[in-house]
Amino acid sequence: MPFRTSRPLRFGDCDPSGIAYFPSYLNILVGVLEEFFGDAGAPWKDLIAERRIGTPTVRLDLTFAHPGFHGDTLDFELFVRRIGRSSLDLEHKVSAAGTLLWSARHSVVATSLDTHKSLAWPDDLRAALESRLETTDA
């Protein structure tokens, strides 16, 4: 089951015509990813300050289908598609009023904030991520 959350599209997220400014989508997406990790029991504050684990983006492929407008409520669906030793492949679907606005394929990697090298997902975090893994089995 995907992680779901919503965000308003605010005035500052749009260009002068009231259409979403695409870099704002990325800023909003970072907040959604942070919320997802918190929901998985791994708040970024704890990962960063206590466990010294970062989750940098290593791949992000976006496809835009329809414009978003100031005042829209953006509905995010985040799907966990694959978990590697240190990588995490996600898919995002973002809609407003039932219309898909954009989607993304997104990969992040667990890294040590001390060495800046990849590291294996800690067992507790791997288990939390695996519980959210989308399967194709019926």
pLDDT of 104: 98
Q: Is 15 among the residues known to form the active site?
A: yes
Residues 112 and 53: beta-carbon distance below 8 Å: yes
Burial 100-133 (b: 16+ CB within 10 A, else e): ebbbbebbbbbbeeeeeebbebeeebeebbeebe
pLDDT of 137: 53
Q: What is the pLDDT of residues 92-137, one digit of tens each?
A: 999 999 999 999 999 999 999 999 999 999 999 999 999 999 986 5
**Helical H runs in 1-122?**
22-39, 44-49
Structure tokens at 65: 């289908």
Q: What is the pLDDT of residues 36-95, one digit of tens each?
A: 999 999 999 999 999 999 999 999 999 999 999 999 999 999 999 999 999 999 999 999
CATH for 3-131, options being 3.10.129.10, 3.30.750.24, 3.40.50.920, 3.40.190.10: 3.10.129.10
Give the bridge partners for 88, in sequence order.
Answer: 83, 108
Catalytic residue among 15, 61, 114, 124: 15
- Confirm whether pTM is higher than 0.75: yes
pLDDT of 138: 45
For the chain, the structural domain boundaries read 3-131
Q: What is the pLDDT of residues 11-35, one digit of tens each?
A: 999 999 999 999 999 999 999 999 9
